[in-house]
Chains A and B, each alone.
Chain A
Amino acid sequence: MSFPEAGAPAAPAFSLPAPVVQARGLVKWYGRRKAVDRVSFDVMPGEVVGLLGPNGSGKSTILRMLTGYLAPTDGIATIDGCDVLTDSLEARRRVGYVPEDVPLYPQMRVHEFLAFMARLRGVAAPGVAQAVDDVVDRLRLGSVRALTISKLSRGFRQRVAIAQALLGEPKLVILDEPTNGLDPRQIIELRGVIRGIAERHAVLVTSHILAEIERTAQRALILLDGRLLGQYVIGSGEPLEDVFLRMTEAEGPGAA
């Protein structure tokens, strides 16, 4: 049996997993307008975190900075330890992203599009077919895999967009306003899909709808005018609606 030498740091009794996302003091200016103002937060592995705020509160800008699409004016963000600015390719390899308007190539067939995205996401050529089959099964796209994307309903397009985000097994899946434009049945199905994703990935989801965040996320980050007002663990007592109103009203009448 050996003992640590005198003066050596004691081994921790347990260790917390490293956060998948670490955002520290993120700032983004668009010309003279400050869209994001010193926002800091973490997302832990397996966690579903909701970014909640009214339109124009900076949710999409924060996501775009995390995906490397926009460079922060100030601050640091890392994905699984990779800086989104200085180690951008590695950070992007660890993120699956579904933008708000579900942009896809309409003339491609579903399986062609997914195979294309799999190759872009670094899936080795022999594994592409298997990776596509896997996400087709997970998102229940089997009935439409041979169809051109332009012929799909909004709900299926949303699923295809999520499927491409899961290719390459990213650590983090980012969904920007995923329920936009979906009918009630599709919204209910999507909640199930998000819960399924959370079994294997950390999820960061945005919405301006309180009920959506309450139903899909474990923790809500409340934003207003680009500032993070606070966070709230869903189901920890007070309804999210009351917390949201209290936080945003504290910023001044009619702030939200």
Chain B
Amino acid sequence: MNLFVTLLRRETTALFVSPIAWAVIAVFLLLMGYTFTMNLFIAKTASLTHIFFQAAALLVLIVPILTMRQFAEERRGGTLELLLTAPVPEHAVVLAKFGAAWIVTLVMIGLTGVYAIVLGIWGTPDWGPVYAGYVGLVALSAALVSLGVMVSALTSNQIVAAMVTLGLFTLMWMVDTLATLLPAGIDNVLIGVSLLAHVTPFATGALYTSDFGFFIVLTLAGLFFATRALGRR
């Protein structure tokens, strides 16, 4: 546990020392703030449903930038060799990398809580969907960060890691649109792996264990394969 905390502290510090985390948080909040303002003052709706959909879509675009360096940079700089020849189990390294990048995404998501507070002050929002939306974003971000860390563990090139992760996320986001072209049976499989299909219930205020399960399975699978990728030397 102490070992994990030591690694997590270093990883989190490394992310916040680099300008990437700050740039990502700033751009995310800028775009979210723009949408919230338009939603509130032009559409005049006291709801965060649009905000949650946009936040989810932005996470799909932004998480690859956060996770691309996690292992790729260590591999390129040789520090991975230093880390993995110390008496440290691979899974502790993976969990620390995952934890650090997830903390950054949680900070981003947490800061959008200001919008909920503003809604609460100036209007009477239905709080159920607001809570559900945030739970959904937290679950989605865990799955995305885990998959991003997994891809980063497979390459020493940050750009390759970012592009492969982005491609994977985009495909998983919109794969359900392909379902309409496929025969019954197969279409359900594609809908079952679609990020959008599992985010939508959360964003609209519905909590299903199947959606939770989906994101938990993705998160665990990403961490498992990242650990396997590190062990494959």
Contact = CB atoms under 8 A, between A and B. Distances in A.
Contacts of B82: 97, 99, 103-104, 164
Interface in A182-227: none
Given A116-B6, A116-B10, A119-B2, A104 B79 contact: yes
Nearest to B5: A119
A120 B233 contact: no
Contacts, number: 58
A120 B6 contact: yes
Interface residues of B, number: 21
B186 interface: no
B78 A125 contact: no
Given A99-B82, A103-B81, 15 more contacts: A64-B81, A69-B84, A92-B86, A95-B85, A99-B78, A103-B79, A103-B82, A107-B14, A107-B18, A108-B10, A116-B6, A117-B86, A119-B2, A120-B6, A121-B86
Given A71-B233, A101-B78, A119 B3 contact: yes
A67 B87 CA distance: 10
Contact of A120 (B14, B17, B81, B86): B86
A64 B80 CA distance: 12
Contact of B3 (A104, A105, A120): A120
Size category of the binding interface on chain A:
20 to 34
Contact of B78 (A67, A95, A103, A117): A103
Contact of A107 (B17, B78, B86, B89): B17
B89 A89 contact: yes
Contacts of B77: 103
A146 interface: no
A93 interface: yes
B22 to A, nearest CB: 14
Q: Which of A101, A108, A119 has the most CB of B within 10 A?
A: A119
A167 to B, nearest CB: 9
B189 interface: no
Contacts of B18: 107
Nearest to B79: A103
A69 B87 contact: no
A105 B87 contact: no
B163 interface: no
Contacts of A125: 2
Interface in B75-119: 77-79, 81-89
A139 B87 CA distance: 22
A101 B80 CA distance: 12
Contact of A67 (B10, B17, B79, B85): B85
A50 interface: no
Q: Which of A64, A67, A103 has the most CB of B within 10 A?
A: A103
A127 to B, nearest CB: 13
Contacts of B83: 120
Nearest to A101: B78
Interface string A85-104: 00001101101010101011
Contact of B85 (A69, A71, A108, A122): A69
A18 interface: no
Nearest to A161: B82
A152 interface: no
A178 interface: no
A63 B7 CA distance: 25
B78 A121 contact: no
Interface in A228-250: none
Q: Which of A70, A105, A108 has the most CB of B within 10 A?
A: A105
B7 to A, nearest CB: 8
B6 A119 contact: yes
B79 A121 contact: no
A131 to B, nearest CB: 14
27 contacts: A67-B85, A68-B84, A69-B85, A69-B233, A71-B233, A89-B89, A92-B85, A92-B86, A92-B88, A93-B87, A95-B85, A97-B85, A99-B78, A103-B77, A103-B78, A103-B81, A105-B79, A107-B14, A107-B18, A117-B86, A119-B2, A119-B3, A119-B6, A120-B6, A120-B87, A120-B88, A164-B82
